[in-house]
Chain A
Amino acid sequence: MSLDASSRLNSLRNGPDPRGRFGTFGGQFVAETLMPLVQELDAAYQKAKADPAFHEELDYYFRDYVGRPSPLWHASRLSQELGGARIYLKREELNHTGSHKLNNVMGQILLAKRMGKTRIVAETGAGQHGVATATVCALFGLKCVIYMGATDVERQKPNVFRMHLLGAEVKPVTAGAGTLKDAMNEAMRDWVANVADTYFLVGTVAGPHPYPQMVRDFQSIIGIETREQIMKAEGRLPDAIVAAIGGGSNAMGIFHPFLDDADVRLIGVEAAGHGLDSGKTAASISRGRSGVLHGNRTYLLQDENGQIDEAHSISAGLDYPGIGPEHSWLNDIGRAEYVGVTDQEALDAFQLLTRTEGIIPALECAHGLAYVQKLAPTLRPDQIVVLNLSGRGDKDIFTVAKHLGADL
């Protein structure tokens, strides 16, 4: 695989600039105590990126532990059901631990080991990132502390139990609404207090530079494989790629290798919650504005005074009030489209995929699917849509059951 974009001229794939910015977004907005750490991390990452041995090691773990490449599945029953386009699913839910999160986590843990760090902290919302992090910490024998909002600890019990089994310490965060943004604050507090031995393993394409770039690079394997697989299957690139967006790592991973292919529509699906204008939403691009939180400038849900709003989504993995800075930039330059899908639409799509393809999707990617449901019928049968199926839905069956009135 190639993580290096630096040699491409006039490419949308060259970001960020040396200041860690994508246009006006990104940057390094952290306390002075963290500046030496993010600079050390940046140097270590650039060095690893240029080292073939690092790529060999990562390829080995991708293949034999994560289970890559993941298949690209032609969902023919779903395509038939919806009418219109040929729909493909990039099966990231088949990765070990059940989501795309392991790609990034595997890359970062190898980097943390190179840097000699012995303790890992991470934040998690739905628990997918927490489980992936706890998994690699078990694999490499590193101490693992996961911060998780108290609300999420309650609604994602199976994942909390998994993290415990894997030997991680799960610290519930009661500040704020007890969701992902509060867990992120708490993980940053831990990092600043334990700078000597601790590696902060960020779960999405956000945070201070180099995280947005680094996580994107590790997740780009999704798009690189998709490109090869669709060429093999169809002999051409897709017409549209659809992916759900919380922080935006699965979307960035599948989008990035296609940024320079102007004919491929890239569509990010934000969680609209109760509706884009309901005030209970997680759609940072559609309903936010530029601001600074968690080390980067990006679109944020915030009030008129610059206080950060709580995000809402039925999916614990999507209710984050910000988004990766590269997405904010892709939105502003018009390269990617960002749309909203409600809780109810996602629930409906969740059931549709289960019944037509025998695949139970995570509620996150059910949002992506709900948009494919709208998009596909408007396209011709020879047009191709790829949905990044970023995670499996086992963790969400309790939430879905509750909404369907079933008692588990």
Chain B
Amino acid sequence: MSRIKTRFDALKAEGRGALIPYLQAYDPDLETSLEILRGMPAAGADLIEIGVPFSDPSADGPTIQAAALRGLKAGATLTKVLEMVRAFREGDNETPIILMGYLNPIDSYGPARFCKDAAQAGVDGLIIVDLPKEEADLIEGDAQGSGLDIIRLIAPNTPDARLPYVLDGASGFIYYVSITGITGTRTASEDELANALPRIRKMSDLPIAIGFGIRTPEQAAYASRTGDAAVVASALISTLATTLENGRPTAQTVPSVLTQLKEIASAVRGA
């Protein structure tokens, strides 16, 4: 059974939703981001999303754009991000890892070779922002063959008539982009979420993670309760960014991010 399914099944038995923190690989450098990654499970991460830096992250807000730029400056490539996952796996064989990024680096690497290498490195799922279901045949076969889940995205404006098409053959979990907009900007209201989730639940039994605009422990707790998981990204990266001096990490960088993660995790666990 995949790590993702195992983890969601375990949390269901425990009766709580998951917390999925996000970090941008190599932000602001390999050592720091690997240290944050390694510290995340103990700080309360149930699954972890790793952003693959891309030069043109057109669905991301300024916070994640800046993080991607720092990652690229520090030398991030898809190959090196996989090495980072491999290094994490040496000490943790349970926490599911999902790579999130844009298609072109994967396309450049070669989808078939990438899926094989990613699975071997210990990646469990992929979120490819600019790969809608219409174009997903580019990689789905290879992903399936390697045991990787391609996480399908649903947006507030995805029409009901389109849901079955998008969710056909979905695996892992469903990522609900809770706002029409870019990362780290607006937050969906509780009403919006309460209305949106049932229409997806009707179509699929997969767990639903809610992302985009979740910043506070309270918001994360609500999202993890209403859906099955809350993704927190820009809020953690903002914290990281404020600890940097001239783009370089300081003694505060790793502890600040992990402390914030612990606070959010405790709210999610208490939810």
Q: Report A's interface with B, CB cutoff 8 A.
A: 19, 27-33, 35-37, 175-176, 181, 184-185, 188-189, 192-196, 290-295, 300, 302, 304-308
Contacts and interface: CB of A to CB of B under 8 A. Distances in A.
Contacts of B153: 31-32
B108 A185 contact: no
Interface SS, A side: mixed
B189 interface: no
Contacts of B135: 27-29
Interface of B: 54-59, 61, 65, 72, 77-79, 102-109, 129-132, 134-135, 153-159, 162, 166, 177, 180-182, 185-186
Contacts of A305: 77-79, 105, 108-109
15 contacts: A19-B134, A27-B135, A30-B132, A31-B130, A31-B132, A32-B132, A32-B177, A33-B156, A33-B158, A35-B132, A36-B159, A176-B55, A193-B182, A304-B108, A306-B104
A176 B69 CA distance: 9
Contacts of A290: 107
B108 A302 contact: yes
A306 B109 CA distance: 8
A293 B77 contact: no
B104 A192 contact: no
B105 A306 contact: yes
Contacts of B104: 291-293, 300, 302, 306-308
A291 B56 contact: no
Contacts of A19: 134
A193 B162 contact: no
A306 B128 CA distance: 14
A176 B62 CA distance: 12
B134 A28 contact: yes
Contact of B56 (A36, A185, A194): A185
A189 B104 CA distance: 18
A295 to B, nearest CB: 7
A194 B78 CA distance: 32
A29 B54 CA distance: 15
Nearest to A27: B135
B69 to A, nearest CB: 8
Contacts of A28: 132, 134-135
B134 to A, nearest CB: 5
Contacts of A194: 180
Contacts of A193: 180-182, 185-186
B157 A36 contact: yes
A36 B109 contact: no
A194 B179 CA distance: 10
B108 A291 contact: yes
Contacts of A30: 130, 132
B180 to A, nearest CB: 5
B129 A31 contact: yes
Given A19-B134, A300-B104, A306-B108, 18 more contacts: A30-B130, A31-B129, A31-B155, A31-B177, A32-B166, A35-B132, A35-B134, A176-B56, A193-B186, A195-B180, A293-B56, A295-B130, A302-B108, A304-B108, A305-B77, A305-B105, A305-B109, A308-B104
A232 B240 CA distance: 68
A192 B180 contact: yes
Contacts of A36: 155, 157-159, 162
B56 A181 contact: yes
Nearest to B161: A36
A35 B181 CA distance: 13
Nearest to B131: A29
A32 B59 CA distance: 10
Nearest to A297: B107
B23 to A, nearest CB: 19
Contacts of B61: 189
Contacts of A31: 59, 129-130, 132, 153, 155, 177
Contact of A192 (B59, B162, B166): B59
